[in-house]
Amino acid sequence: MIVKICDIISNEKISSDKDDERGVYSMLIDAPEIAEIAKPGQFIHVKCDSFTLRRPISIASSKNNKIRICYDIRGGGTKWLSGLKGGDNCDKIDVMGPIGNGFDISDASKKVLLVGGGIGIYPLYSVAEVYGENAAVVLGFRTKERITFEKEFKDCGVDLYIATDDGSYGVKGRAIDLVREFLDKNNNNIDIIMTCGPKAMLQGIALEAAKRNIRRQVSLEERMACGIGACLACVCRVDGVNKRVCVDGPVFDISEGSGVDFEW
């Protein structure tokens, strides 16, 4: 675990939201020690100004001594983050990580289906980098303005499908619909499904994967405090027992047990 004040290399808005107060930002951070050991699906815990709690943000990519995080402006903390500057005389940022268990990338010759919704797509990007052509990717967004990383995913060589809730881009509908269609067409010829996004989406994907008996890993999100497993704030219910999202997750393999209790 590394706690370090790092240089910001760049920090820019990548979604096309017209409202200045909103949007997804991508920040590149000079963090060699973290970049060296980070695995797809892990996150960093970011200190924001004088806020009491750090903000957990998943690592979208880690290479060449740098890590990239992408975050949506959700409140004061992320708003403050969005105002930080990279480049010459850059701002600095206090980060802690990498934290948690990531996705299974032990065998990149396996066929993987990645299903992401909203800002849940970014940890999956680091998985797509590993699996390349062996990955099919389904991404769901609310609307065209929220779409990001289309080119980045394509550049990994993946088979990419996009859905928007309002039909302003790609297929109108939800990611789960595209997933069903994809799996039907491919005779369930997928070794593992990995997913990250809104709870409703995760629930749907987990159920669909279970029905078709496909191995599945979900990345969970929960309001977090310490980020190191001590305070028990980010607890969720997996396979019938309490699990800490920060250190027992955020990625859980739910192929064997009763899975995530999303109602808990």
Partner 1 sequence: MVDKNNNNIDLSVEIAGVKLKNPVVTASGTCGFGREYLPFYSPEEIGAVTTKGLCLNPRDGNKPPRAAETPSGMLNSIGLQNPGVKYFIEHELPFIKRFDVKIIANIFGSTVEEYCEVAEILSDTGIDMLELNISCPNVKEGGILFGTCPKMAGEITESVKRHSGKKPVSVKLSPNVTDITEIARAAENGGADCISMINTLIGMKIDIRTRKPVLHNNIGGLSGGAIRPVAVRMIWQVKKAVKLPVIGMGGVTTGDDAVELLLAGADAVAVGTAAFGDPTAVLKVRDGIRDYMLENNIKSAGDITGGAIL
Q: What is the binding site for partner 1 (CB under 8 A)?
A: 1, 3, 47, 50-54, 75-77, 96, 222-236, 242, 247, 264
Q: How far is the CB of 107 from partner 1 (least distance, A)?
A: 30
In the bound state with partner 1, the residue whose beta carbon lies nearer, of 50 and 89, is 50
**DSSP H or E segment with residue 54:** none
Residue pointed to by tokens 């990239």: 68
Q: How far is the CB of 186 from partner 1 (least distance, A)?
A: 35
Which of 43, 94, 42, 52 has the alpha carbon at shortest distance from 76? 52
Q: Which two tokens stand for residue 85?
A: 């500057």
Cis peptide bond N-terminal to 32, omega within 30? no
For residues 146 and 16, what is the distance between their CA atoms, to the nearest angstrom?
6
Q: How far is the CB of 239 from partner 1 (least distance, A)?
A: 14
Sheet containing 112-117: order of strands: 171-172, 159-164, 135-141, 112-117, 192-196, 215-219, 251-253
Q: How far is the CB of 226 from partner 1 (least distance, A)?
A: 5
Q: How far is the CB of 121 from partner 1 (least distance, A)?
A: 23
In the bound state with partner 1, the residue whose beta carbon lies nearer, of 214 and 245, is 245
Q: How far is the CB of 259 from partner 1 (least distance, A)?
A: 16
For residues 263 and 141, what is the distance between their CA atoms, to the nearest angstrom?
23
Helices 175-185/199-211 angle, 10° precision? 20
Q: How far is the CB of 224 from partner 1 (least distance, A)?
A: 7
For residues 209 and 191, what is the distance between their CA atoms, to the nearest angstrom?
10
Torsion sign across C-alpha atoms 205, 206, 210, 211: negative
For residues 180 and 261, what is the distance between their CA atoms, to the nearest angstrom?
22
In the bound state with partner 1, the residue whose beta carbon lies nearer, of 71 and 182, is 71
In the bound state with partner 1, the residue whose beta carbon lies nearer, of 9 and 235, is 235
In the bound state with partner 1, the residue whose beta carbon lies nearer, of 33 and 184, is 33
In the bound state with partner 1, the residue whose beta carbon lies nearer, of 54 and 68, is 54
In the bound state with partner 1, the residue whose beta carbon lies nearer, of 75 and 87, is 75
**DSSP H or E segment with residue 128:** helix 121-131
